[in-house]
Amino acid sequence: MFAARSLARLAAIRAPLAAPATGARAAVAAVRHASLTGKIPANPNFSIEELPTNDQQATGPERKEMDFLAHHPHGTQDPFGREHITGPLGTKTNPIVIPSHYDYRISACMGTEGTPHDMAWFVALKGVMHRCNHCAQCFVLQVVADPDAEHDHAAHH
């Protein structure tokens, strides 16, 4: 009786392994086969023409950048707003405005034209004025709507 149950369990465990491999199981089986034999087996269900291109599978920020660059000549505005902000010295009464689609943005100060300094990184926060420790320039974050966003982050914060 015990031997019959053990054989039944063993058969149940081996049955799925004997079935033709599909999907992820097929990929794992191919890798195991290649590692043991040094040969990669041909897969009749696979065609190189079926692999998606970068344009077809890009999502998120990569898709946004690809779409932007496809419709704008090189050298125009950056789709992520990474351009250098230049202008007069930021003061408490007239701070440098840092645009962002969120309530924060990682930014850097490199000084002024007359007195440059090494890049000093900081996190600009909504409603908080930041003052550079090197040159005393003042910065303030301004939340702006993202025209490509599915929903407006600025409206939710």
Q: What is the pLDDT of residues 48-105, one digit of tens each?
A: 667 777 778 888 877 877 777 777 666 556 656 666 777 788 999 999 998 888 899 9
Is 88 a domain residue? no
Is 90 a domain residue? no
Is 61 a domain residue? yes
Q: Are 137 and 127 in contact (CB under 8 A)?
A: no
Question: Roughly how many angstroms between the first and final C-alpha of the chain, as a whole number?
Answer: 68
Where is 38: in which H helix or E strand?
Answer: none
Residue linked to tokens 């003052």? 131
Q: Which residues, in sequence order, are CB contacts of 134 under 8 Å at separation 6+? A: 109, 111, 117, 118, 120
User: Domain range for residue 146?
Assistant: 96-156
pTM exceeds 0.95: no
What's the CATH code of the domain at 112?
A: 2.60.260.40
Same-domain status, 146 and 100: yes
Is 115 a domain residue? yes
Q: How many domains does the chain have?
A: 3
Provide the β-strand partners of residue 124: 105
